[in-house]
Amino acid sequence: MDEQNKLFFHETQKFSKWVRAAFILDFIVFVGIMLALFWYLRDEPFRPFLLILILAVFVIPLAILILFCLLTLETQVRSDGLYVRMFPLHLHFKKFALDEINEYYARQYKPLMEYGGWGIRYGSHGKAYNVSGNRGLQLVFKSGKKLLIGSQKPDELVEAIRLASSVQP
């Protein structure tokens, strides 16, 4: 990264180990139930739709489990803007120019009440990118739109934006 695009802040977050463990446990229980059902129906005449249904029932939850284990929220503040990506849903960073931001501050929030949970969420308070915790950076853009970025270091994130804004051309 060149001097023109200096990095002021970087944070990488994943769902907590407990959340990932809960998803894995749910998947194991689900697979066990499906195997029991398959074993119970083994003597039934072959029905192609039953095989397709069972495959779909394994593949879809497995894909969701893998997604949750890989999901990573990455936040960067560079001299030319705030960058956010939710990998693997976003392969490239989404850039928010600092001069488009009207207001920013660290705050505590209620993920379930305000946004309906974690991930990329839309709620009555705007859009949110979050994977854990209940603290983050609230952005209010000049357009009036709001974005909350979950962070374990919201005060450092605010300070990084302040510093990056002060060195903008």
Give per-residue pLDDT as tens, 100-151. Answer: 999 999 999 999 899 988 889 998 889 999 998 899 999 999 999 999 999 9
Alpha-carbon span 12 to 50, nearest angstrom: 42
Q: How many domains does one find in the chain?
A: 1
Residue 86 is part of a domain; what is its CATH number?
2.30.29.30
Residues 20-48: what's their mean pLDDT?
72
Sign of the torsion angle spanned by Cα atoms 144, 97, 12, 7: negative
Question: Average per-residue pLDDT in the chain?
Answer: 86
Residues of the domain holding 132: 1-169
The two tokens of residue 144 are 């009036």
The residues, any chain, with a CB within 8 Å of residue 25's CB and separated by 6 or more, are none
Above 90 in pLDDT, residue 92? Answer: yes
Instruction: Write down the pTM of the prediction.
Output: 0.78
- Coil/strand/helix, residue 119: strand
Alpha-carbon span 78 to 67, nearest angstrom: 28
Q: Which residue has the higher pLDDT, 20 or 91?
A: 91
